[in-house]
Amino acid sequence: MNPALTTDSTIISCSLFSGLPANEIALISEFARIDMVLRKDVLNSNIDGVPHVLVIRKGFMKVVQLLTNASEVVVELIGPGEIYGRTSPVDLTKTLLAKSPDYVEAIEDTSIVIFTQADFEHLLHNAPHLQTAVMEQLSERSYRMRERLSDIAFRTVKSRLCAILLRHGSLYG
């Protein structure tokens, strides 16, 4: 990856940042880097040994989890304005022992905004509108996950498939 420097206009073109005040956009631009991920490229949030947060600017990626039997499962699709990576510090040792690693794979050529985790945390502390936008985005993802768990628990395979197709059609076109 060769991330490029950002400008305020490229930051505003990302839906997560589009409604933020100019002073927060300027602050985000100081820390953000833009990169292009080609279709089928694979990334994780640990880039060159440093934890990062990725925000999808344009395009779509799938979050893939490795299972213990060396198979993979697509956990979710993420699109414009959605976040991949840890947005706050946690005990990574416990997290890594508790679950197998995941990564993202580009479904199509995808533009991403890249922050180191430390820079993103700094932004969340100093940009209250960004903090609200991130909380809203994460809340929406949490709701979608609860919907999916409910589907798994209470629907037949046929109705789950129909629900997935309808949901993805409305979310991603």
**CB-based contacts of 93, cutoff 8 Å, min separation 6:** none
What does the angle CA 64 – CA 66 – CA 70 come to, to the nearest 5 degrees? Answer: 135
In sequence order, the β-bridge partners of residue 46 are 51
Q: Which fold has domain 4-172?
A: Jelly Rolls (2.60.120)
For 13, phi and psi rounded to 5 degrees? -70, -10
> Given the DSSP bridges, would you call strands 83-84 and 4-5 parallel, antiparallel or unpaired?
unpaired
pLDDT of residue 97: 47
Residue 26 has pLDDT above 50, yes or no: yes
| 78-123: pLDDT as tens digits | 999 999 987 665 554 444 444 556 889 999 999 999 999 999 999 9
What is the rounded average pLDDT of the residues 144-173?
A: 83
Q: With cut-offs at 50, 70 and 90, classify the pLDDT of residue 7.
A: low
> Residue 84: enclosing H or E segment and its boundaries?
strand 83-84
| 36-47: pLDDT as tens digits | 999 999 998 888
Domain spans in the chain, listed from the N-terminal domain onward: 4-172
| 59-76: pLDDT as tens digits | 999 999 888 787 888 888
Q: How many CB atoms lie within 10 A of CB 96?
A: 10
Calculate what percentage of the chain has a pLDDT beyond 90: 45
Residue from 132, 97, 101, 127 nearest 115 by CA: 127
